[in-house]
Chain A
């Protein structure tokens, strides 16, 4: 009988031990999803040029991803500041880190990957340029080729919105200011999305020949979406010439990030279609 009691007690203890799952207190069921910023009348944007954003869905276990990195770096070299690149690691098996390397995935990146169909397609690398779509289908492509035609297509269109972003590092936070200037009348709602990216992250990468490159340097890595992943509403009435500005405070950075290697990307997108109208990037001063 003692044996039974002991075994059953051990089992119950094991169950109790393993039962210590996440418990969320009722006053914490919902949390602030991202900086919303306060919108004011702005001073306008001096650089009114059109820029494109290439967002690459990638992974450290994706053998073709280094090829895409090379192709994107070449394109960024060609287009200069007219093309801004970001690299997103979702939570697919391709993003599982080697050894003790940090995982570069983010929940926000995973949410985008699921939304744009990258995760379900299970094709890596995969990319979008300024989140364009055709007939309701996102223009996902393998960014080892075909980048230029898509970027040219975006850059050939006149800018509807001009955007500028600046970031300053304070003691425990980053202060970000975004300036928006409407260059055309836009009746539909727009949102502003802010991202924090990090360059020069050393993490092992699987290479095209199947080998592991322990010295691989990952750039443009999405660390966090500062606003809500679908952006914060831009408080404007949609009239050409309208100038707005907003300031944001961000303090959610992780102590493993090297802020000197971080920069901010800001983009304006249509709230319903998600298409990106324009994008800007800045260092953190």
Chain B
């Protein structure tokens, strides 16, 4: 659909949407169904600041907006999403510029059968062969536009099949086909119905088709002989017995020369294993993974965050505190090995360490390395060979110990120590390994039922120093303070400041005010945003520096 057609289409649908919405409000539903939805509008004004590296925004105001509308009538549902990027906020790809209906679908679902036509999101297993998903904060939307069918022929068996093209900003690209089957053996085998041991097996296959194209080889006059159909298959298991759990998935991908792997022909593979134990007041989990050339996109020559067919589960903790998340880890789909341990324990009340209210302890540690590889050649070769158990350079490591304790009935203190090891090569540039120590105190004072004060103090000591040639503004030693006041259950105001007091640059202050009324929330902030990257589940996007006003309005109905 060209832009003009899309605009007309958008206008038509908006008119239709308006009618539907008004209709639902006036008539308490359409044809016996109901209309629900949500709206989000984010805006940003940013000015030049030479210290933090922010620039003036020529448009003055940047905005990302979206409205999801869902019509449901029994087993039938239909929905659409209008998006507008006028122009996209800083850090979001400029190819989003524009507005229109980005997502639409109709769906019919029962307990045993479901079919969706239009845009849909889907995941097979852990997503190692297919994960079509959206994360608006990453500017990522890998929705598939096509047909998705689910069928449960009998209790315990779930079959899925899909085919379609992936969203690429305002276009669709590629051709993806997939099958998935999952068997819950305890539901299928009668004698196992009541067993404490639960076992589920699954398998999936996904393939993409792409036309041939001319990609010159390194030898003049020759080009790559590209596979048009590339497949990836996986098998998985989920075993549980009482508090114990063991999950594993292995995926294999055929030859897939792409710009991500420098057009090599090596097969890809990935293994993910997770073992866990939990009981009241205690949980422990260990995860391991090995990923080798497993990046899987529906278009071989596209870089960036879009068009990923699969997803490799992240096994580093998703930190929420500012300094612990300053160096997030980006999953290296070309190759990595990782190990993570997570342990939580609650010291009971009225014990030596538990005190009057009990004490929560949370420990997490992870280590990610590259693969031990031997180079074979470059573009148009198998690329490299790798040892299955061998490890390469350390990419990332962290550990954190968090202790949360209620001091009295109104005050709760959370103290955290963290250590982060970060290799800049994971962000695509050379440099020394960073070693960061982080200490955090987070105190919440519930003054009364409607008034809550929160104080947060953070410190980060790093061996990294700001180097103008590298211009990594995260380098150096930092301190941070935050005060947040929630009052009348509806308002909050927050003031924070991050300051590089040694070997770094920048003073990033922020003031934020928010108001919530029923399902509507308005937040306005003013301050500075440091250049860096944000990652969610190992998937990242660049965040440029900004200096100015931000606001966000969300509502649902």
Q: Interface with B: A105-113, A144-152, A163-171, A270-278, which one?
A: A105-113
B213/A111 in contact, CB under 8 A = yes
Q: Which of B183, B223, B254 has the most CB of A within 10 A?
A: B223
Q: Evaluate contact between B205 and A19: CB separation under 8 angstroms.
A: yes
Complex contacts, B157 vs chain A, CB 8 Å: 7
Task: Report the separation of the CA atoms of residues A107 and B226 in the bound assembly, to the nearest whole angstrom.
Answer: 11
Cα(A107)–Cα(B224), bound, Å = 13
Give every chain A residue within 8 A of B233 (Cβ-Cβ).
15, 18-19
Contacts of B179 in A (CB 8 A): 14-15, 18
| Chain A residue at minimum C-beta to C-beta distance from B153 | A7
B72 to chain A, nearest CB (A): 31
The answer to whether B230 touches A21, judged by C-beta atoms less than 8 angstroms apart, is yes
Within 8 A of B (CB), among A1-54: 1, 3-4, 7-8, 11-12, 14-15, 18-24, 26, 28-34, 36
A24-B227, A31-B225 known; A14+B205 contact, CB < 8 A: yes
Q: Which residues of chain B (212-227) have a CB below 8 Å from chain A? A: 212-214, 216-217, 219, 221-227
Residue of B nearest to A115 (CB): B214
Interface status of A91 (Cβ within 8 A of chain B): yes
Contact A15 B255 (CB under 8 A): no
Does B323 have its Cβ within 8 Å of any Cβ on chain A?
no
Say whether B231 faces chain A, with CB atoms less than 8 Å apart: yes
Contacting pair A105 B205 (CB below 8 A): no
Give the nearest-CB partner of A105 in chain B. B211
Shortest A189–chain B CB gap in Å is 12
CB within 8 A of A30: which of B1, B3, B217?
B217
Asked if B265 is at the interface of the complex by the 8 Å CB criterion, the answer is: yes
Which residues from B are CB-within-8-Å of A32?
221-223
CA–CA, A95 to B112, complex, Å? 39
Q: A174 in the interface, Cβ–Cβ < 8 Å?
A: no
Q: State the Cβ distance, A32 to closest chain B Cβ, in Å.
A: 6
B445 CB to closest chain A CB (Å) equals: 55
A19, B225: Cα distance in complex, Å:
19
Residues of chain B within 8 A (CB-CB) of A93 are 1
A124 to B217 alpha-carbon distance, docked (Å): 31
In whole Å, how far is A127's beta carbon from the nearest beta carbon of chain B? 15
Q: Which residue of chain B has its CB nearest to the CB of A93?
A: B1
Chain A, Cβ-Cβ closest to B95: A120
Q: Chain A interface secondary structure, helix, strand, loop or mixed? A: mixed
CA distance A187 to B448 in the complex (A): 82
**Is B171 in the interface zone, CB < 8 Å from A?**
yes
Question: Nearest CB to that of A225 among chain B residues?
Answer: B214
Contact between chains at A107 and B254 (CB < 8 Å): no
CB nearest neighbor in B for A3:
B188
Interchain CA distance A246-B215 in the complex, whole Å:
25
Minimal beta-carbon separation of A35 from chain B (angstroms): 9
Say yes or no for B260: interface residue by CB 8 A criterion. Answer: no
Chain B residues lying within 8 Å of A124, measured Cβ to Cβ, are 2
* CB atoms of A22 and B229 under 8 A apart: yes
Binary A-proximity of B230-267 (CB < 8 A = 1, otherwise 0): 11010000000000000000000011000000000100
Task: Check: A258 CB closer than 8 A to any chain B CB.
Answer: no
| A232–B265 CA distance with the chains assembled, in angstroms | 26
B residues less than 8 Å from A24 (CB atoms):
225-227, 255, 265
A166 and B227 alpha carbons, distance in the complex (Å): 35
Number of A residues whose C-beta is below 8 Å from B? 39
Cβ-defined contact, B221 with A33, below 8 A: yes
State A123–B351 Cα separation when bound (angstroms).
73
Is A229 close to B, CB under 8 A?
A: yes
Determine which of A7, A31, A111, A123 lies in contact with B222 in the assembled complex, contact meaning CB atoms within 8 Å: A31
Q: How far is the CA of A108 from the CA of B201 in the complex (A)?
A: 44
Q: Are B225 and A228 in contact (CB under 8 A)?
A: no
B443 within 8 A of A: no
- Which of chain A's residues has its CB closest to B207's CB? A21
Q: Which residues of A contact B381 (CB under 8 A)?
A: 26, 29
- A122 contacts partner chain B, Cβ-Cβ < 8 Å: yes
Within 8 Å CB of B219, what residues of A?
30
Asked if A22 and B221 make an inter-chain contact with CB atoms under 8 angstroms apart, the answer reads no
CA distance A1 to B265 in the complex (A): 40
Interfacial chain B residues near A33, Cβ < 8 Å? 214, 216-217, 221-223
Task: Find chain A residues with CB under 8 A from B301 CB.
Answer: 114
Residue from A7, A29, A30 in contact with B183 in the complex, judged by beta carbons closer than 8 Å: A7
B203 at the interface (CB under 8 A from A): yes
A18-B205 in contact (CB<8A): yes
Closest A-chain residue to B267, C-beta based?
A23
Contact of A23 among B181, B201, B207, B254 (CB under 8 A): B254
> A34's contact among B3, B183, B221, B229, by CB below 8 Å, is which?
B221
Query: B222–A4 contact, CB under 8 A?
Result: no
Asked whether B189 is an interface residue with its Cβ less than 8 Å from the other chain, the reply is yes
Task: Say if the beta carbon of B382 comes within 8 Å of chain A.
Answer: yes
CB<8 Å pairs between A and B, sample of 19:
A7-B181, A7-B183, A19-B233, A19-B254, A21-B231, A21-B254, A22-B228, A22-B255, A29-B225, A29-B381, A30-B222, A30-B223, A32-B222, A33-B221, A93-B1, A107-B213, A122-B171, A124-B2, A228-B216
Beyond A4-B185, A122-B2, list 19 extra A-B contacts (CB 8 Å): A3-B188, A7-B188, A15-B179, A19-B205, A21-B230, A22-B229, A23-B254, A24-B255, A26-B265, A29-B225, A29-B381, A31-B223, A33-B217, A34-B221, A110-B211, A110-B213, A122-B171, A228-B221, A232-B221
* Chain A contact residues, CB within 8 Å of chain B: 1, 3-4, 7-8, 11-12, 14-15, 18-24, 26, 28-34, 36, 91, 93, 105, 107-108, 110-111, 114, 122-124, 228-229, 232
